[in-house]
Amino acid sequence: MRSGPPLLVIFLTVFIDLIGFGICLPLLPKYAERYGAQGWQIGAAMGVYSLMQLVFAPWWGQLSDRIGRRPVLLVSNFGSIIAYGLFGLSARYIGDTGFWILLGSRVFAGICGANLSVASAFIADVTTPEKRSKGMGLIGMAFGLGFILGPVLGSQAFKHFGLAGPGAVAAAICALNFVLGCVILPETRKTEAPSATRRPRLEQIRHVLAMKEVGFLIGIYFLATFAFTAFESTLPLLLDAKLRYDEEHVGYVFAFCGIMAALVQGGAIGRLVKSFGERRLIGASLLVVAVSLLFMPLAASLGSLLAALAVFSIGSGIHRAPTMGLISQLSPADEQGTTLGIAQSAGTLARVLGPTVATTLYDLWLPAPYYACAVIALLAGWLAILRLGRVTPKPAAA
């Protein structure tokens, strides 16, 4: 099967799904507050999404190894329609009723959003090993573009249709995604592929982590994601402290970071992997992230801060694709979805832990989370260079 059209299809599938996510996420705290939620309830509404991803990503991946990628993606996309429909429905109620409907919408959204491991397995099915990382970069590009466009659509939906508007628009977009998938999404798991081995959940996780290089790469991915989420959760605070930026200007800065990352993931990844190989890029990208984190709290002007953010976005944008690409290359053909699902769960666990650690450190000393995560990224990059750099990457096929 040629990889071009299927890659375009999966890019559109992930991109459209993430637009819906980007529409509702920035509004979530305000909606929960409107329903009279206390601080811990707002935190629960934010965190339950990641918790569901942590639990369901390996399950979706393992299911796709058994029954195929297409049915799993279609079912999860249909579930997203329900999730964002509930988000919009919650606006019709006040008090506890509205909050519980909102919380239910986040549970559904987290379960369905855990399908990124299946999208990654889809890419693994239709790409050759030497083009695997370039294909994985499309998911990162879809992330960046979805987060740029989603909040803009959400604010316009709120402006024109009121409280229920963002949820309704997100549900409509997911419905479009579902219909599009029914029409053009192919099945990519080869019928002659061996049947996936069925293991209990904990045994499967131990099995994946016991594969030496795969387990090591998943650990590196956890550390890199931890550093990224710590930055993500404290950047609005840093922008307020340094430049007195309000919510609107913070959004512009995040859009800048998203554009920089999307440009790298969508254009440069393939050439970088061909020139340097996945193994070298993983360690080098983490060193770039570490340097940018060291300079970020020292920035005294918008220009210097944007320079540090650009370097950070490029480094973090480079890292994910070769990491997931190499994990896929080292995984058995019948366990692509399962292995990538466990890797995604490791990243989700970092997203659960990172913000709490980072904001706690920030309260103690403004630069603390940046310096702590710089050390983490430096250590992870150094270990990656020592462990992965010993094997010379195979040259890409002509």
Pair (165, 237) in one structural domain = no
190 lies in some domain = no
Within this chain, do residues 177 and 224 fall inside the same structural domain, yes or no?
no
* Confidence label for 31 from pLDDT (cuts 50, 70 and 90): confident
Do 157 and 264 fall into the same domain? no
> What's the length of the chain?
398
Question: For the chain, what is the domain count?
Answer: 2
| One domain for residues 153 and 214 | no
Whether 398 is in a domain gets the answer no
pLDDT value, residue 197: 66
The three-class DSSP label of residue 52 is helix
Per residue in 136-177, pLDDT (tens digit) is: 988 888 887 887 888 888 888 888 898 899 999 999 999 999
- Higher-pLDDT residue of 114 and 391 is 114
Q: How do residues 269-295 score in pLDDT, each as one tens digit?
A: 888 998 999 999 999 999 999 999 999
Same domain, 68 and 24: yes
Helices and strands: H and E segment counts in the chain: 16, 0
Confidence class of residue 1 from pLDDT cuts 50, 70 and 90? very low
8-state DSSP, 45: H
Q: What is the mean pLDDT of the chain?
A: 87
Which among 31, 144, 128 has a CA at the least distance from the CA of 86? 31
CATH number for position 376: 1.20.1250.20
254 and 132 assigned to the same domain: no
At 373, the amino acid letter reads: C
Matching residue, tokens 């029409």 = 183
Residues 46-64 have a mean pLDDT of 89
**HSE-up (13 A, CA, CB side) for residue 191:** 2
Q: What is the mean pLDDT of residues 22-30?
A: 80
Predicted structure pTM score: 0.85
Q: Give the structural domain span for 335.
A: 200-390
Residue 397 lies in a domain: no
- Please report whether residue 193 resides in a domain: no
**How far apart are the C-alpha atoms of 144 and 259, rounded to whole Å?**
7
Instruction: Tell me which residue has tokens 């890419």.
Output: 123
The encoded tokens of residue 60 equal 């979706």
Q: Show the DSSP H helices in the chain as ranges.
A: 4-24, 28-34, 39-67, 69-90, 95-113, 116-126, 132-161, 165-184, 201-210, 212-243, 247-263, 269-276, 278-295, 302-330, 336-364, 368-388
